[in-house]
Structure 1
């Protein structure tokens, strides 16, 4: 089982993300996730650096494998451009970069005024996008005139030696089925054993299952809960709202219905290593091969120290 660290592009500056990656490697984490956002969820998070610039910097600052968690290659950025960005990232990281993809959120994808499609259409767009990227990664000239995308005489010249793995995020059964059918792996932020089993039985077999959870390291559980609620009140927003709300302002409005106790349930708060071990065990029992933890708030070095001394050695 691989334990990785999740870099939150929405909350930390580029310099802090690089600092965290270095700290995670020193602490003994074995891989990195990094989120791909145009906006933060709420203004209190306050950041949203361009992920491809950060990945380039990470490739020179750390040797840890990197997975995007997750990129949406359908609306905001054309899949032919994501194909080039991912290929360059794979070359820079010596082939350890993996492309995590999903159907995205209106929060990030609506910025050009395009209509935000229903979930089933977004899945269809994602499948076509993955096909285009894989064709471009073969190294030849590609022309494609599909249902959602057009590519003419495109070729990606800078390519890694090994094919790029595409891992697909899924919250519902149709997305999980798509991941099982065409993905090299499955990505989730919920310890849902049923979805992992659906991925495995649908064709995922022994392919990678990545899961992630959030923490707020602090001197006490209540202080961690306060930090989590301040920075991530959206963690308590239910259902499909996270996919359809278009701006941080709307998430802030929806979050007025969220209490600190609701957010606390979605986080591991405080400085108790046993609470982290218990959460990791939940994901492990659900069938995940790789588990990533994200810190919220200023005390990420404390989380690294705790993992180095009291969590990772026990795994």
Structure 2
């Protein structure tokens, strides 16, 4: 079955408040949680807790909901061996209901914390190697690894994962989607123009097929920005206040490494841009129609994201008004076999 989840943003909310939203989402009937992993937020007004601490706490405070990072960059500010250990620990708290989302990162988080920001092709090669090392550590035993970027000497996870953790690889543009299919157990992306999303899906499937995998059995996750609130204009302003920098993906590979720099580049995001990038409506049918088009493209995990202080109201109303209809019209749809592995 399609999993209907929520994107929770540490870039906007303090960690304890964010935890309350996670608990409320599970109680309301959401299936999954996707949470950012940032060192810096997109805005000077934002927050930025340590996501791996938060995921451990969320795993302990929830019972059935799938949860994971969307996404972690395991190549610069983290050594991949540390991420292998972190994800394994979360799996011990939440067996079978976590995943590891990975990507090549943003200068906002990596350059700011390390002073290092290689070009994209180098970072992709680093990610290739990091994924290999993480998987070898999860397999157990002592791992001596001599790569171009990372080395270990008889490294071993003495608290290994209890279940198989899928590695979900991020792709925001068609050019990186084949890599996600080749190297990942699944795909995670963010909504953009439908022509771009279709090409991302096609390239992901091509890469997976090339690697001898069945793409129909691989989880495909997508984050959708939505507004479903009584005061839609206020939520739009909060999107611009906290998230405008994230809505200029062409800037992700540039050397923008402070929230202030993010704000300056996000200043080009106006109401017209938001209306093109978000589903903004108080009519649940509009949201159902909007989400269904991504399900029809084969996405197995839908994460809706909204902004502003009315998160609890959003969680309850969306779970009441939108999720049941989506479940009903997708009843019996074949989901990815590894979606909750």
What TM-score range do you get, normalising by the shorter chain? over 0.9
Larger deviation, residues 269-278 vs 95-104: 269-278
> C-alpha distance in 1, partners of 2:87/2:24?
24
CA distance in structure 2 between the partners assigned to 1:16 and 1:76 by the alignment: 26
- Give me the whole-angstrom Cα distance separating, in 2, the residues matched to 1:272 and 1:30: 22
Look up the match of 1:59: 59
| 1:210-268 deviations in Å (ceiling 9; x for gaps) | 001123443143333223222222244252x1232111111111122222221333223
How many residue pairs get aligned? The number is 313
- What is the deviation of 1:289? 1.0
Q: What is the match of residue 268 of structure 1?
A: 279
Of residues 187-196 and 265-274 in structure 1, the stretch that sits farther from structure 2 once superposed is: 265-274
Distance in 2 (CA, whole Å) between partners of 1:109 and 1:208 is 27
Calculate the aligned-residue CA RMSD, in Å: 1.7
Q: Distance in 2 between matches of 1:235 and 1:97?
A: 24
Q: Deviation at 1:6?
A: 1.0
* Equivalences for residues 1-315 of structure 1 within 5 A: 1-44=2-45, 46-63=46-63, 64-190=65-191, 192-203=197-208, 205-206=215-216, 207-237=218-248, 239=250, 241-244=251-254, 245-269=256-280, 271-315=282-326
- Tell me how far 1:199 sits from its aligned partner: 1.2
310 and 236 in structure 1: CA distance in 2 versus 1, 3 angstrom threshold: same
Cα shift at 1:7:
1.2
Rate the CA distance shift 1:160–1:248 in 2: closer, same or farther, 3 A.
same
The farther-off stretch of 34-43 and 224-233 is: 224-233
Greater relative contact order: 1 or 2 (C-alpha under 8 angstroms, separation 6 or more)? 2
SS in 1 for 2:108: helix
What do the CA deviations read for 1:80-104 (whole angstroms, capped 9, x no partner)? 1111001101111013110000000
Q: Which structure 2 residue ranges, 5 or more long, are not aligned?
A: 209-213, 327-341
CA distance in 2, matches of 1:105, 1:119: 10
Distance 1:231 1:309 in 2: 27
Residues 225 and 304, structure 2, Cα contact 8 Å, conserved in 1: yes
TM-score by length of 1: 0.94
Tell whether the 8 Å contact from 2:88 to 2:162 is kept in structure 1 after alignment: no
Q: In 2, Cα distance between the equivalents of 1:147 and 1:273? A: 51
8 A Cα contact 1:228 1:264, kept in partner: no
1:4·1:31 contact (CA, 8 Å) conserved in 2?
A: yes
C-alpha displacement of 1:176: 1.2
Q: Counterpart of 1:111 in 2: which secondary structure?
A: helix
Q: What 5-or-longer segments of structure 1 have no aligned partner? A: none
Q: 1:93 to 1:238 in 2, by over 3 A?
A: closer
Normalised to the residue count of structure 2, the TM-score between the two structures is: 0.87
> In 2 relative to 1, CA 142–69 (structure 1 residues): closer, same or farther, beyond 3 Å?
same
Distance 1:257 1:65 in 2: 35
Supply the distance in 2 between the matched residues of 1:230 and 1:261 (Cα, whole angstroms): 15
